[in-house]
Structure 1
Amino acid sequence: MEKRLFTMPVGKFPFMRYKVINECLTNKRKPYPSIKDIQQALADYDIHVEKRAIEGDMETMRYDKRLGYFSPIQYSHKHRGYYYTDPDYTLDKLPLSSEEIEAFEVIVESFKRFRGAEILKQVEGMFDKLDKVIMQQLKTKRSRVSYPVVDFEKVPYSKGVEHFDKLYQAIIKQQPLHILYKKFDNDKVSEHIFHPYLLKEYKFRWYLLGYSEKRRGKLILALDRIESISNVKMAFKPYKGNDVQKYFDHTIGITINNTGVKEIRLWFSPLQGNYIKTQHLHATQKIVSDTDEGIVVTLQLIPNYELLQMLLSFGAQVKVLEPESLRNELKEMLKENLELYR
């Protein structure tokens, strides 16, 4: 067995231990493995356990109804080792339970939403196989429903996903890039020597956070506006900060401005408030008051265009209480909106 480079926590991943025990018991070249043989096989995966733990695992494989293995494991005094009384038995041939099939159905269906990027091609193959296995098992396990009972949001076409793989590889390899970029509101193509840090998805569109030599600071580029990407031979500038994954922690969307984090105080009508209570607008949401006249919540956010868009979507069911600057921005946008209907 290939030597693993990490240590497997003993208390976790019991199925890994069952898998190794099964490999030992089905090894035709070395039949009747002893406890020491199984211990050595587990050690090859950096799983180090005592004799009692292995005996407990085999008892679980034999009798645990929740697992449903019912492995026919016996000890041979003649050969001083363990074996399957059914020579054709193996965990690899066990059918999935109804619960396992249902769980895999949800996983596979959810995964289908993110197809298209080259970096996911290898995993797609695995999920295609799972999909086929599930469909075969469904024919025997369940026949009343012939369609997926979970309907996920369908992902529309999004230009720029073809850049995902190259950008992903550049991030993990810390490879600076030369990027040609064209904004929607400007026909002129701009050039950036770019140090990529993070890929960010928002409303089915992909964005790239990194450092731009041209701007001399952090910049967010939309993948659908990237014209071309090529590698640059130069030293990579690492991200300056504690955790790049926290960069968007206080935003709705991807726009970061210089205003800093503000406490946003919002009033929602009683009806809309019921939805807001069951599905928060943001991780920082807190309910300040909840009465028959509506609810008041606070959010710790950087005010930006995406936040305004979200607030506009609630129409007359929301009112900005604080800060005053956000109230005024929303008022102006509502006035401009009304002008379209005059």
Structure 2
Amino acid sequence: MAKRDQMLRLMHISNLLQNKKNIGASYDEVRQYLEEKHFDQKGYDNDLAFSEKTFKRDRDLLLEIFGIETQFKRSTMTYQVVDDENVENAKGIFDNLLLINAYKQTAAYSKIMFFEKRQASGLDHLDGIIYAIKNSKTISFQYRKYWEDVSHKKVLQPYALKEFRNRWYLLANDVDGKDFFLKTYGLDRITDLDISSKKFSKKEIDIEALFIHSFGIVANLDDKPEKITLSFKQNQKGFVKSLPIHHSQKILIDNNEEYRIELNLIPTYDFYQELLTHAERLKIVEPKTVRIKYLEFLQMAMNMNKKL
């Protein structure tokens, strides 16, 4: 397993090559960039130990751990990232690494970084669940839904883990179910996790494809995605542009009057909750069905507050 210093190097190498994806970067440019980061951030445990042999090993690790492939272009004597997609997938891990590094630098200073205190728990189950997924082991645990007072035992075939809004969810098939169906289970609601020695025959499923048109953790396989057009006030553009609502987001209009985008997804409860966070800054251009449903949520909120 790569150590923290090495993970920081992998992150910086990936960032540099991504920023120079059209022209690439030479070995000397990579080394100079790492030296600047090494001394500026003061986040490393040791002196920078970097050579062409180290660079080769780091590029192999980028491919092995993150799926980020790099290639050497002899005509320009530079290195380039082959595919941008896996760079985006690794960004969440790199962001967490930056947080760890920042925390290490500020741990002795209590009033520099203020972390969210209401984060959901459950990550202590992560290692065990990952082991079970990799080795096709059946698992069991006690699971309590938020709206129930008692927990229930679940015996499951685990397939994958998915993050949504800083919470992690397990995608698994219920052994007691009649048909194969992947359900979601919040890790923060799991207790008494047990990994069985019993293995199961794993089905070949493209998990990513299941959620390609979804928002959140609900995969509506029987529904077709809709083209949804949203119009925001101009002063909201920066927020929506820097943190897209969905990966399908396309810009239709970007001027001094409005910022209009198009999404291609299946509207779910989680999606409407996301729209409600924009409330007075948002207009739903089309389709009408989505606009009506959105207004229903707003009306319910108004009715509840009128009763107070």
Same fold by TM-score greater than 0.5 = yes
The answer as to whether partners of 2:252 and 2:260 remain within 8 angstroms in 1 is: yes
Q: Structure 1 residues 220 and 104, CA, compared in 2 at 3 Å: closer, same or farther?
A: farther
**Are residues 1:290 and 2:276 paired?**
no
The answer as to whether partners of 1:110 and 1:152 remain within 8 angstroms in 2 is: no
Question: Per the alignment, in what secondary structure is the counterpart of residue 207 of structure 1?
Answer: strand
Q: Structure 1 residues 315 and 67, CA, compared in 2 at 3 Å: closer, same or farther?
A: closer
**Are residues 1:102 and 2:40 paired?**
yes
State the partner residue of 1:219. Answer: 183
2:214 aligns with one of 234, 241, 251: 251
Residue type matched to 1:183 in 2? K
Shift of 1:246: 4.1
1:200 aligns with one of 162, 165, 190: 162
Residue type matched to 1:161 in 2? L
Q: Which is greater in Rg?
A: 1
Shift of 1:65: 9.8
- 1:268-323 CA deviation, whole Å, 9 max, x = no partner? 12222343234422221101223444132111222112211111011111122233
The answer as to whether partners of 1:113 and 1:154 remain within 8 angstroms in 2 is: no
Q: Provide the C-alpha distance between the structure 1 equivalents of 2:296 and 2:134, rounded to a whole number of angstroms.
A: 43
Q: Given the two structures, how large is their TM-score scaled by the length of structure 2? A: 0.61
**Mapping of 1:310-325 within 5 angstroms?**
310-325=274-289
Q: Structure 1 residues 250 and 306, CA, compared in 2 at 3 Å: closer, same or farther?
A: same
Q: Structure 1 residues 161 and 65, CA, compared in 2 at 3 Å: closer, same or farther?
A: closer
State the partner residue of 2:146. Answer: 184
User: Can you give the 5+ residue segments of structure 1 that lack an aligned partner in the other structure?
Assistant: 1-14, 16-59, 69-95, 115-126, 136-145
State the partner residue of 2:97. Answer: 111
- Aligned residue pair count: 229
Among all aligned residue pairs of Structure 1 and Structure 2, give the percentage whose two residues are the same amino acid: 26
1:170 aligns with one of 132, 135, 157: 132
Greater RCO, CA 8 A, separation 6+: 2
Q: Provide the C-alpha distance between the structure 2 equivalents of 1:65 and 1:295, rounded to a whole number of angstroms.
A: 38
Q: Structure 1 residues 109 and 332, CA, compared in 2 at 3 Å: closer, same or farther?
A: closer
Shift of 1:103: 5.3
Residue type matched to 1:250 in 2? H
Q: Provide the C-alpha distance between the structure 2 equivalents of 1:190 and 1:162, rounded to a whole number of angstroms.
A: 20
2:237 aligns with one of 273, 276, 291: 273
Shift of 1:225: 1.4
Q: Structure 1 residues 240 and 98, CA, compared in 2 at 3 Å: closer, same or farther?
A: closer
Q: Given the two structures, how large is their TM-score scaled by the length of structure 1? A: 0.56
Q: Provide the C-alpha distance between the structure 1 equivalents of 2:297 and 2:264, rounded to a whole number of angstroms.
A: 22
State the partner residue of 2:65. Answer: none
The answer as to whether partners of 2:135 and 2:199 remain within 8 angstroms in 1 is: no
Residue type matched to 1:329 in 2? K
Q: Provide the C-alpha distance between the structure 2 equivalents of 1:186 and 1:282, rounded to a whole number of angstroms.
A: 31
User: Can you give the 5+ residue segments of structure 2 that lack an aligned partner in the other structure?
Assistant: 1-12, 14-26, 45-92
Q: Provide the C-alpha distance between the structure 2 equivalents of 1:186 and 1:158, rounded to a whole number of angstroms.
A: 18
